[in-house]
Amino acid sequence: MQNLMEKYLGIGPELQSQLLYTVIILIVLWLFRKLIVKYIVDRLENQKERYQWTKTTKTITLIITLILLSRVWFGFFDQVGTFLGLLSAGIAIALKDLLVNLTGWVFILIRKPFKIGDRIQIDGVIGDVIDLRLFQFSVVEVGNWVDADQSTGRIIHIPNGMVYIKWQANYTAGFEYIWNEIPVLITFESNWKTAKNILNEAVKIHSINLTPEAEKQIKEASKKYMIIFNKLDPIVYTSVRDSGILLTIRYICHARRRRATEEKIWEEILVQFAKYDNIDFAYPTTRFYNNKNEGKGST
């Protein structure tokens, strides 16, 4: 058999032995891992333990395979540099996720896309960072099924490597304030000018103290980031929608007090609107026009 392979394939006896040992090693280790999975891993009821055992057996099998194959092809200590190179490469492949998370931890410490205490959004998750470890960071979730920016109470653990593949939004880094908008829809028949004055007064009452502090923080943040806001004063914009006149309040507020400030502004609006008979909230309706009765001429 050896003579035939050497004659027709040009494979010498030494190379034939190495190939044979390689096949035997791969088959034996494959069977070894399958037996462990079948008789140990699959019998575990805890899903987390099954996952950990599966990853561990896979890693151990890969490392043993690399060691044995390096012995077959290079000798155990004949070429130490080659052996160590293959071993380190095998470990790097087997522990790829851990290494990525570890470098992610270093990136977070040096580049500081966020720090403990910041409110961030990453991969659709919004929360306050409460812990940073070698392989993962933890946030207290905000939002989700809870309205506005209130905490859900859940702690979510996110691998550090996510900072490489997912975009992040930081609500509080360098500048703790965000812009918020409150849409107020009133009917076409309402006195929109009076309503707009009411909204202007309401937002000024509950946001006027924020502007000086926000300006101070913007000046500090502009030293590190290209942040330019020409105007921080609250404003009310006017536009028209199908169901009425839309007055949109735009103001700046603390990232963690958006719901609280919005509540105060709404309460002020409700109190003031109740004083006027010519201001009504609008909502989707169906209207029939009669120009004759409305004094617009017959149709």
pLDDT digits (tens, 9 = 90+) for 193-249: 999 999 999 998 887 566 666 667 666 666 666 666 667 788 899 999 888 999 999
Domain 114-170 has CATH 3.50.50.60: no
Query: What pLDDT does 233 receive?
Result: 80
Confirm whether pTM is higher than 0.75: no
At 170, phi and psi to the nearest 5? Answer: -110, 120
CATH 2.30.30.60 occupies which residues in the chain?
114-170
Return d(Cα 82, Cα 244) in angstroms, integer: 76
Task: Considering the chain, tell me which residue range(s) the CATH 3.30.70.100 domain(s) occupy.
Answer: 177-273
Residue 138 has pLDDT above 50, yes or no: yes
The CATH number fitting domain 177-273, selected from 3.30.70.100, 2.30.42.10, 3.40.190.10, 3.30.460.20? 3.30.70.100
Q: How would you label 126-140 residue by residue, b for 16+ Cβ within 10 Å and e otherwise?
A: bbbbeeeeebbbbbb
Identity of residue 122: I
